[in-house]
Amino acid sequence: MSEKLSTHLKSPRVRLDAARRHIPCNLCGGNQTEPYCPENGLGLVQCQNCGLVYVSPRPDPNELYALYGETYFHNDESGVVGYSNYIADEGNIRKTANRRIRRLERYTQPGRLLDVGCAVGFYMDEARKRGWQVEGLDVSNFAVEYAREHFGLNARQGSFTGLEFAPDSFDLVTMWDVIEHVPDPKSYIRKAAAVLRQGGVFALATPDIDSLPARLTGKRWVGYKLSEEHVYYFSRRTLTKMLEEAGFEVLEAQHVGKYVTLRLFVDRLGMYVPALAKLLALAERAFRLSERSAYINPYDIVAITARKK
């Protein structure tokens, strides 16, 4: 781990190790678990009753949020935690956002949108351009301040369950790459149901631990992150069950990708097939392709769109 990132995490980690506690299953409430992929060293367990995979024991919820400072969005260890340079990747993030918004507009027309885990606001800003009235929140004070200062967005700092929103007041709630980070996913999904109007749409995306790439690559799967970052790992089945129990009807479930630079694609490929990645890296440098981007679907991120009954 880089000196910059380890310095950022050093103080929180002292408290994390001291405060770890065993966690019951967030989906079914069960306490019977077995180790899951212990060779990756992330402390994962799987509920023997419903199959949900999560980190246990783990820190107090408040300690988890210590991770999401400025360093989280710009560091040299993005294969382990956070992003290489989230803000520098603005163009690709905006293209991915537009692709996802257009797809959601098949189910709901522009109205009030709440983006949970809004980061620095690129997705919100793109939605606003398409006629949505946008609000957002993030646990990162750095990200929220950036969204306010650079785009004039209505963004609030805090956890979804810790902030107040009027019930039945939104047409669309989104959680892109969020649900795997939060200490109580079920409460987040129930809160989404509470703030959506009847018939409102909820959309989220998260790594799919039951995907073919996850099963084939084992402990090397790119979806595995620092145990203080990704604390839950869903499959399509476990996430659908949690949504249905909260009063949602699933409209669509599919694997999705995102726009990425060739440089990032080659870097991630190197985690699986180093020899092939080296050949592609040579081609990348020879033809100066490093900053060109393309939509890449690795088929290990599941996106689910659901409607409040």
Q: What is the pLDDT of residues 267-277, one digit of tens each?
A: 655 555 566 55
Alpha carbon of residue 304 to chain centroid: 13
Q: Strand, coil or helix: what is 70?
A: helix
C-alpha dihedral (111, 117, 122, 123), degrees to nearest 10: -40
In the chain, domain spans: 3-308
Token readout for 221 is: 């799967």
Burial (Cβ within 10 Å: 0-12, 13-18, ≥19) of residue 136: buried
**This prediction's pTM:** 0.88
pLDDT greater than 80 at residue 113? yes
Sheet holding 53-55, edge to edge: 33-35, 44-47, 53-55, 232-233
CATH topology of domain 3-308: Rossmann fold (3.40.50)
Assign 61 a pLDDT band (cuts: 50, 70, 90).
Answer: confident
Q: What is the pLDDT of residues 201-260, one digit of tens each?
A: 999 999 999 999 999 999 999 999 988 899 999 999 999 999 999 999 999 999 999 998
